[in-house]
Structure 1
Amino acid sequence: MKLENERLCIEIVERGAEAVRIYDKKKNQEILWDGKPEFWKRHSPILFPNVGKTWNNTVLFNGIQYPSYQHGFARDNDFLCVKSDKTEAVWLLRSSDETKEVYPFDFELYITYTLEKNRLHVKWKVKNHSEETMYFTIGGHPAFWCAQDAESRNECFLKFPGKESLEYIGVDLSTGTALPETKKTLFLKEGFCKITDKLFELDTMIFDGGQIEEAWLCHKDGTPFAGVVCKGFPNFGIWSVKGSPFVCLEPWAGRCDDKGFDEDISQKPGINQVEAGEIFQKEYTIVVG
């Protein structure tokens, strides 16, 4: 499926309701990573009902332990397109007998893409059709080219407008869970930070506490290439693969477990909870520079 206006062309597939292409017609430039499997086979998956990994790849709910998979199952399920026109598409995933084997809730997950000038708005809506409180984390994972033409990734910059520094933690590489004790400070110069391999030595940079409401990838001369605006998001991840030409800017509502977390999912810090019959909504925007 395509969304298109004078500036951008967007392609979305039913598997995961994933945006697989953002093309800037004005600059004749691909914005979204093309999914070459030697680095990473995905483009911009939706992470649900968990962001990242859970401890021991399990989730405990009401005394029952369920298997859990990195970033959840939404990205690997086919969504139904329930509405579309030239600039907007709405996709739906419903719970099923298969999803209940790993996640015991009745739900509907809607993903809405709305194209406006040089912006792609991405809205999530989760409806709880269970008779009990529903718990989950949800996140975006868009990967952007940041090495175009003669540039390399490590010549480019991250930019966080208005920020002088940010605090982040890393990931335990053996379990994929967070290490709060690895807290580091990312010092910025006029909001800029040079991209280096060292930034990703603990896999993903995890920013908690709602620190990031806007993040950009910029060319080596400092001009903006692509950014994410995500006001009101409690967590944010930045990830890349060594030697690759892309960086992921990831707005999250909740994140992976801390290392060693083995309590009921209702006790997880930052977990989203939706009461029976209620709705959760969140929206972020991809902006092309």
Structure 2
Amino acid sequence: MEFVIENEHLIVTVKDKGAEVSSVIAKKTGIEYIWQADEKVWNRHAPVLFPFVGRLKEDSFRYKGNTYPMGQHGFARDSKFSVHERLTDSITFILAPNGHFKDVYPFLFELQLTYQLFENQLSVIYKVKNLDENTMYYSIGGHPGFNVPLTEGEAFEDYYVKMTPETSRERLLLEGPYLAADKALEVEQNNFPLQRELFQNDAIILKTPEPTTVTLASKKGEHGVTMSYEDFDYLGIWTKPQQDATYVCLEPWCGLADRSDSDGVLERKTAIQPLEPGNKRYYVHRIAFF
């Protein structure tokens, strides 16, 4: 089922499956900013990544002597959320534990997603609550895909991704779907002109320990998006390298794929987030559409 929120600037559609944004349209221009999930290319719009970001070795993890199966990016993106609160310009979804989750994830939890509009900006607020008697271990992240190009007469290569503050950052490398062990680089690059070959080895992954702003825009046009956040430790920039993949994902993450040398033990997983019993934690990123 789909739900619509709007204000004087934007119309946003969100699905209860995965609490996934499937459309953001600017009222003034009619521009659709969100990738429309072409089944032949990439069949998602803006999935929510929980309780893992990326791929686990052997698609599983180990906790207290037991092995649990888990697909890439976790189960939230394919789960049906309940609507908790709905207003004209905001909506909140909740994913609560059930028996199926306990078979693949040994913690009781509540995941809440709120989408809230203010002028030309969409705030995405994640709330994770540990309902379990044990320390809960998880990762969380966003994966919104934006149409590139946004307007006729432009090409994919006319666009760029720019990060601020302009500073050196740690770039994490991949070996297949996993983090390459001990192969991070310190890079000075803050501007990424879009080219297909950038994504031949999957995503660009950068560590972002400071408040970060990321802009996807065209050197020829005036439209794009700006994402800002303070609560996420990493940014993934991704698309498929093929010509018909006319989108780019800007992905704020608290969590990473397994390292290539991972032993699969959950408590030792790289960038895992611990949360004590009864505690909750918030993560927020904001997207301005122009």
Using structure 2 for the length normalisation, give the TM-score: 0.93
Distance 1:222 1:233, change over 3 A: farther
Q: Report Cα offsets for 1:125-170 as digits up to 9, x if no partner.
A: 1111111000000000000012131212122111113315544223
- Answer yes or no: is 1:106 the counterpart of 2:105: no
Q: 1:194 is aligned with what amino acid?
A: P
> What is the rounded CA distance, in whole Å, between the counterparts of 2:80 and 2:287 in structure 1?
23
Query: Counterpart in 1 of 2:61?
Result: 59
CA shift for structure 1 position 232: 3.1
Query: Counterpart in 1 of 2:26?
Result: 24
Q: Report Cα offsets for 1:71-111 as digits up to 9, x if no partner.
A: 10001010000100111101011111101111011111110
Q: 2:269 is aligned with what amino acid?
A: K
Task: Look up the SS of the partner of 2:41 in the other structure.
Answer: coil
Q: Report Cα offsets for 1:240-289 as digits up to 9, x if no partner.
A: 01221110000011111111211421122321111111112111111112
> What is the rounded CA distance, in whole Å, between the counterparts of 1:179 and 1:149 in structure 2?
39
> What is the rounded CA distance, in whole Å, between the counterparts of 1:170 and 1:101 in structure 2?
32
> What is the rounded CA distance, in whole Å, between the counterparts of 1:105 and 1:19 in structure 2?
26
Q: Which moved more, 1:253-262 or 1:137-146?
A: 253-262
Query: Counterpart in 1 of 2:236?
Result: 237
Query: Counterpart in 2 of 1:160?
Result: 163
Query: Counterpart in 2 of 1:146?
Result: 148
> What is the rounded CA distance, in whole Å, between the counterparts of 2:221 and 2:272 in structure 1?
36
Number of residue equivalences: 285
Q: Report Cα offsets for 1:16-67 as digits up to 9, x if no partner.
A: 0111001111222011111111211100010000001112211111111111
Q: 1:23 is aligned with what amino acid?
A: I
Distance 1:182 1:37, change over 3 A: farther
Q: Which moved more, 1:225-234 or 1:127-136?
A: 225-234
Query: Counterpart in 1 of 2:277?
Result: 276
Query: Counterpart in 1 of 2:36?
Result: 34
CA shift for structure 1 position 185: 5.6
Query: Counterpart in 2 of 1:47?
Result: 49
Distance 1:149 1:187, change over 3 A: farther
Unpaired runs of 5+ in structure 2?
none
Query: Counterpart in 2 of 1:255?
Result: 256
> What is the rounded CA distance, in whole Å, between the counterparts of 2:131 and 2:80 in structure 1?
20
Query: Counterpart in 2 of 1:201?
Result: 200
Distance 1:234 1:178, change over 3 A: same
Task: Assess if the C-alpha contact under 8 Å between 2:165 and 2:212 holds in 1.
Answer: no
CA shift for structure 1 position 182: 4.4
> What is the rounded CA distance, in whole Å, between the counterparts of 1:122 and 1:214 in structure 2?
15
RMSD: 1.7
Using structure 1 for the length normalisation, give the TM-score: 0.93
Unpaired runs of 5+ in structure 1?
none
Task: Assess if the C-alpha contact under 8 Å between 2:231 and 2:284 holds in 1.
Answer: no
> What is the rounded CA distance, in whole Å, between the counterparts of 1:141 and 1:270 in structure 2?
17
Task: Assess if the C-alpha contact under 8 Å between 1:146 and 1:219 holds in 2.
Answer: no
Choose from 124, 130, 150 the match for 2:132. Answer: 130
CA shift for structure 1 position 222: 6.9
- Answer yes or no: is 1:72 the counterpart of 2:74: yes
Task: Look up the SS of the partner of 1:101 in the other structure.
Answer: helix
Q: 2:173 is aligned with what amino acid?
A: G
> What is the rounded CA distance, in whole Å, between the counterparts of 2:209 and 2:59 in structure 1?
26
CA shift for structure 1 position 223: 4.2
Between the aligned residues of both structures, percent identity stands at 31
Task: Look up the SS of the partner of 2:164 in the other structure.
Answer: coil
> What is the rounded CA distance, in whole Å, between the counterparts of 1:115 and 1:230 in structure 2?
16
Task: Assess if the C-alpha contact under 8 Å between 2:132 and 2:278 holds in 1.
Answer: yes
Task: Assess if the C-alpha contact under 8 Å between 1:169 and 1:180 holds in 2.
Answer: no
